[in-house]
Chains A and B, each alone.
Chain A
Amino acid sequence: MDWMQGSEDDFRDRIRLWLDENCPQEMRDGDTGEAAICWGGRNWSFQSQAQKQWLQNAVLAGITTPTWPKAYGGGGLDRAREKILAEEMGRIQARPPLQSFGIWMLAPAFLKFGTEGEKKMYLPAIIKGNIRWCQGYSEPGAGSDLAGWQTKAEDHGDHYVVTGQKIWTSYADKADWIFALVRTDRSAPKQKGISFLLIDMKSAGVSTKPIKLISGASVFCETFFDEVKVPKENLLGTENRGWDIAKYLLTHERQMISAGGQGLFGGRALGAVLAESDTEDGGLDSSLRSAVMDYEIDALSIGLTLERYKDQSEAGQGAGDASAMLKYMGTELNKKRYELMMSARGTEALDTDGAHGPMALDWLRTKANSIEGGTSEIMLNIISRRILGLPG
């Protein structure tokens, strides 16, 4: 399908028709909660026939990754059409057909640092949802201080032998592959001597252990590597230069996390909660109403900032270090949103088996937003040093 043919108005008509015919009704409920996500992967079992059908249709049209090159199965859309697609999907409240760390956190590295062969080998599997990736960065002794990695990869000629432990690896127990930062030169200082390795989770010596969180869920895992053999061709980029790739990806991840917050705070969830509370309990009290006003003002403005940065990057001025601002402001805002929704729902929200039960679990989940992908404090450090130029 060549979506770039014709005018933008034509595209809107075509995509609207296409969605009408290809997005199953069950996938049009606007559910953006954790439980409704289609992650894909070898171990994935679809929650419904509709979810499966929606993914298949979206893959054929290239809209699981709308702006990626058509050569690898992407949609090849420009930013204007991407926006139209998002508007049209929003109009019918279509769920995203596929979400994955491969799309958000890894593929940008293939697109920028990968060889043509690597792109052809890895990207289509991500786009089709065939392979589910997880990220191995943090270690027990290297949380915010990412340069302190201990997991090592020893050179054994045609392969490396990897030994060590990663932590906070989201969904490692369900992932097919992991992209990990490993130390390939132990004599080099801190960020030097780190390489970016792609490791099949089926390899002998890889094991995972889920970590139970305050919400009761176990999205994060510990991942252990016990003398795991990894072929040398699984090295992405240059040996000992993995930090360059990781830095690039962390910038992307920050944008993704803050964009996630932005997508969620489109107002629907909070607006619905407020509207219902309004009628059930005789209106919001003035303190909550005032807090919601502040939230709305900040949320709309952060949304505009995200749009401004996208426009800037379209115009060739990348956000760079300023993505730390988006991550910081976006995640703090998302936490605030859940605080407000919990407050508006009162005691009803406290019953996790009740009608609004999932909200409490999501509320607990949001507490990680300002920790994962670099804490708020690390973001402020980055801004202070790299943007304001304050002495380190």
Chain B
Amino acid sequence: MLVYTDEETLLSDTVQAMLAAASPVSTFRALRDKGETQNPALWSEMAELGLAGVLVPEEAGGSGMGVTAASLIGTALGQNLAITPFISTSVIAATALKTASADLHKESLEQISQGKLTYALALDEGQKFNPSHIETRAEPYGNGFRLNGEKSFVVQAGGAGRLLVLARTGDGPDDLTLFSIGAEQAGLEQQEKAMVDHSDAARLVLSNVEVTGEDIVGQQNEAWRVLRPALFAGQTVLAAEMMGVANGAMQMTFGYLKDRKQFGVEIGRFQALQHRAAHLWCEAEVSASAVLNAGRMMDENPEQAGLAVSLAKARAIKVAKLAVLEGVQMHGGIGMTDAFDMGFFLKKAQVSTEWLGDYGYHAEIIASERGF
């Protein structure tokens, strides 16, 4: 059913209320002003509420909820521009680890739930998300492997305790293996990026990084078995977070249309702006359906969720971009100022657009699923 249950609505309300108090957009601004890209206090609070372990099975100390629930949390985070390792850790890493083996990774999953251990995904190597093009190599070395290569865009790398690194272990296209490597491991060099949205991301250089077979998540040459569901979950929740960004921008814009006066009247009286605002709202309604559907598919039929997930990300990109671009334009000059929050939403939307596949990437998947 494409309706939120009472339980889900309650979860959403709870998280929204918590963030409104603990981390509204003004918190993001204060951290940005100090040059901070982490908010550990917020992450602890989220862990206490069971949100860090939303996808961790109850046996491993988590809340054992689903991707739909995680998406609701994501939307609330996006709307408040809250800084957390939620998607990298609680969604992508938790899904990869439990898919590999919830028993084997019980300790890590427990630590994720407790907010004590965070992860970052080191996948991209070029300027676009392209998981089929991986050149980082893991060569057999002693009893384990030695990794060499470069990762171009590792989100939340600075704060992460461990990195999930996708590396080539054979010459076949799918001979890829996912490694979990401690961030302090010798041979790992992080080069912090000056991200346009003030977020935490880095380039990662791997020079003879030595790991053992125990660091493999899942099986050798079978990265896709664990990574596919992890990416699907990450893309779904990121799409939901982008809906939150769109909502935040829309809320500001619609409010401004009612307050701002020009030519002696509220600018929201002008039909030229009314129609653009109404169209934006329509696009958001349509995108919200695609995002909810992706969550439901991930929870009910994850094997078949590919189309739904790409649809959600593509539509979320479309509406988030529209919301921030219209947001700046309808605010006029003040929308361009640093003192005003609209710019934060604009920047965040652009970064989220690129992460885990842009519009074109997902459109190609949809086209191939639809047979053209």
Contacts and interface: CB of A to CB of B under 8 A. Distances in A.
Interface of A: 267, 271, 274-275, 278, 284, 289-290, 292-294, 296-298, 300-302, 304-305, 307-308, 311-312, 314-315, 317, 322, 325, 328-329, 377, 379-381, 383-385, 387-392
A325 to B, nearest CB: 5
A69 to B, nearest CB: 24
A294 B254 contact: no
B277 A289 contact: no
A314 B1 CA distance: 10
Interface stretch (B140-148, B217-225, B266-274): B266-274
Interface in B308-335: 311, 314-315, 318
Q: Which of B278, B292, B307, B364 has the most CB of A within 10 A?
A: B278
Contacts of A317: 3
Interface string B267-301: 01101001101110110011111101100000000
B133 interface: no
B372 A381 contact: no
B11 interface: no
Contacts of A304: 2, 286, 289-290, 292-293, 311
B363 A294 contact: yes
B275 A308 contact: no
A322 B266 CA distance: 24
A308 B258 contact: no
B370 A308 contact: no
Contacts of B1: 311, 314-315
Contacts of A300: 290, 307, 311, 366
A271 to B, nearest CB: 7
Q: Which of B1, B281, B285, B315 has the most CB of A within 10 A?
A: B285
Q: How large is the interface on B (under 10, 10 to 19, 20 to 34, 35 or more residues)?
A: 35 or more
Contact of B370 (A267, A284, A328, A388): A267
**Chain A, interface SS category:** helix
Contacts of B318: 297
9 contacts: A290-B363, A293-B367, A296-B367, A300-B311, A304-B289, A304-B290, A308-B2, A311-B2, A315-B3
Nearest to B287: A301
B257 interface: yes
Contacts of B293: 304, 308
B172 interface: no
A328 B282 contact: yes
B275 A384 contact: yes
Contact of A302 (B281, B286, B367, B371): B286
Nearest to A329: B282
A297 B366 contact: yes
A304 B291 CA distance: 10
A322 B285 contact: yes
Given A292-B372, A296-B367, A329-B282, A308 B311 contact: no
Contacts of B257: 388, 390
B277 A278 contact: no
Contacts of B311: 297, 300-301, 304
Contacts of B281: 325, 383, 387-388
Nearest to B290: A301
A388 B266 CA distance: 14
Nearest to B257: A390
A216 to B, nearest CB: 32
B278 A383 contact: yes
